[in-house]
Chain A
């Protein structure tokens, strides 16, 4: 449940924002062939430009960093099997701890 003190902000509402319609109400309007309230029509097209040049280096993913750094501290929650190949964080073979939960 959302706590009363949680920080909240609002996106600026679109120019002709409709009052929120429930899904059931919406489908009923569609069924009756009625106009949907506040339907926003746009005519947006591509401008065919080049992207802004990138200035940041690509960051390694957490799993890439873990595989490369030999002394990287292990993640908090982890399968408890030894790597099958050196340099891999996790075993390539199925750990015996895998099992089916439920029916």
Chain B
């Protein structure tokens, strides 16, 4: 059953689980992995969901539970069964969709520093204060919170790993993870310990993404308001870009131009960066009304990208057009955190939201020929 142009989304409801990240399998058409957490990721466990499309919409193929919330997911680039998630307890998990319900491996190294829940909620405030869509959210957040100290169930540590990505460049089997402990770690999934730790960011790291073109090169986006480009061979940073005057929650590489990246920030803007001249952005896309949570370049269209936001919407853009906003999709009722383009269908997109739904759909702007 194929979707009509701009037709209805396929939806999976995930009661008790809030979606943080979604990624299509590079191998199996339509298979989607979704990293979720209980209680908005503040406390409780997490679940990795593997979905396949079927006649009725979306079918849950497998689900895998973890002890803490899951914040990101990345599929293996050399094995269709394997994927990695990262978690609020500072660890990464390697899963096999054809095997048991427990992870094959757990990688735990990101720092074990205790963070008071007060500070954690202040960080949520940074993203939400003054920009919350609903007054009830603002009231809850602006009240002074007591110092809770350490609780087994309630305290969220600063070692939260918020981002994980598997290298797409042929010949490599590398995974990069970004953490609230301000470090990026490099992993070979067959080795238990990290290969390298990258220091330099001065705040939480929200996103770490491999270049699809330049081997051993990845970008990171941080609460320190910089976008940094790192080189594995040099074991260090190559470029530091003060990209916004606000926390940067997401970044991505253009698939058709190896020097071009985009950042999405709490200032509600998307900015394009050419690594050959980083003094000013090459484009700026405005339209979102709250922080941008994730941005991705299209795998099929060189100047098309998508972003999702705390304003509940997903927006599609073509930065080479004077009127760059192509479409605004408003089918969620809470923060929309996960977003991915299909690698097989040029028109299909997936997203997930704190409203406990995961959706796969074909936005009109991708189905209508230019």
> If the complex has contacts A5-B8, A31-B143, A46-B104, are A52 and B153 also in contact, measured as CB distance less than 8 A?
no
Q: What DSSP secondary structure best describes chain B's contact surface?
A: loop
Closest-by-CB residue of A relative to B67 is A42
Q: What DSSP secondary structure best describes chain A's contact surface?
A: loop
Instruction: Please choose the segment from B79-87, B225-233, B239-247 that sits at the chain A interface, where 4 or more of its residues have CB less than 8 A away.
Output: B79-87
B13:A94 contact, CB within 8 angstroms: no
B104:A49 contact, CB within 8 angstroms: yes
> If the complex has contacts A27-B141, A44-B65, A48-B104, are A7 and B10 also in contact, measured as CB distance less than 8 A?
yes
A11:B140 contact, CB within 8 angstroms: no
The docked-state distance in angstroms from the alpha carbon of A14 to that of B136 is 28
Interface string of A54-79 (1 = CB under 8 A from B): 11101101110010000000011111
> If the complex has contacts A1-B330, A100-B283, are A47 and B103 also in contact, measured as CB distance less than 8 A?
yes
Q: Which of B98, B140, B301 contacts A77 (CB 8 A)?
A: B301
The docked-state distance in angstroms from the alpha carbon of A72 to that of B14 is 40
Closest-by-CB residue of B relative to A49 is B104
Instruction: Please choose the segment from B55-63, B180-188, B193-201 that sits at the chain A interface, where 4 or more of its residues have CB less than 8 A away.
Output: B55-63
In whole Å, how far is A44's beta carbon from the nearest beta carbon of chain B? 5
A98:B258 contact, CB within 8 angstroms: no
Q: Give residues 1-52 of B contacting A (CB, 8 Å).
A: 7-17, 26-27, 38-40, 42-45, 47, 49
Q: Which of A2, A8, A44, A63 contacts B57 (CB 8 A)?
A: A8
The docked-state distance in angstroms from the alpha carbon of A56 to that of B28 is 9
The docked-state distance in angstroms from the alpha carbon of A24 to that of B128 is 12
Q: Which of A28, A31, A97 contacts B146 (CB 8 A)?
A: A31
Instruction: Please choose the segment from B159-167, B203-211, B216-224, B316-324 that sits at the chain A interface, where 4 or more of its residues have CB less than 8 A away.
Output: B316-324
A77:B56 contact, CB within 8 angstroms: no
Closest-by-CB residue of B relative to A98 is B282
The docked-state distance in angstroms from the alpha carbon of A91 to that of B299 is 16
A26:B42 contact, CB within 8 angstroms: yes
Q: Give residues 91-117 of B contacting A (CB, 8 Å).
A: 93-94, 96, 98-100, 102-106, 117
**Does B121 count as interface, using CB distance less than 8 angstroms?**
yes
- A61 to chain B: which residues have CB within 8 Å? 26, 168, 212, 255, 299, 343
**Does B272 count as interface, using CB distance less than 8 angstroms?**
yes
For chain A, give the interface size range: 35 or more
The docked-state distance in angstroms from the alpha carbon of A52 to that of B27 is 15
Q: Give residues 12-66 of A contacting B (CB, 8 Å).
A: 12-14, 17-18, 20-28, 30-31, 33, 36, 38-52, 54-56, 58-59, 61-63, 66
- A2 to chain B: which residues have CB within 8 Å? 8-9, 11, 331
- B343 to chain A: which residues have CB within 8 Å? 59, 61-62
- A27 to chain B: which residues have CB within 8 Å? 42, 121, 140-141, 145
Q: Give residues 252-301 of B contacting A (CB, 8 Å).
A: 255-259, 269, 272, 274, 276, 281-286, 299-301
A9:B56 contact, CB within 8 angstroms: yes
- A40 to chain B: which residues have CB within 8 Å? 38, 44-45
Interface string of A70-103 (1 = CB under 8 A from B): 0000011111100000000111101101111110
- B67 to chain A: which residues have CB within 8 Å? 41-44
The docked-state distance in angstroms from the alpha carbon of A10 to that of B357 is 9
Residues of B within 8 A of A (CB): 7-17, 26-27, 38-40, 42-45, 47, 49, 56-60, 63, 65-67, 77-82, 93-94, 96, 98-100, 102-106, 117, 121, 134, 136-137, 139-141, 143, 145-146, 148, 153-154, 168, 170, 212, 255-259, 269, 272, 274, 276, 281-286, 299-304, 318-320, 322, 324, 330-331, 334, 343, 346, 354, 356, 369-370
The 28 listed contacts between A and B (C-beta, < 8 Å) are: A3-B7, A3-B9, A6-B9, A7-B58, A8-B13, A12-B60, A23-B137, A24-B137, A24-B140, A27-B42, A27-B140, A27-B145, A28-B140, A31-B143, A39-B38, A46-B102, A46-B105, A52-B96, A52-B98, A55-B80, A56-B80, A59-B27, A61-B299, A66-B256, A78-B301, A90-B302, A101-B324, A102-B286
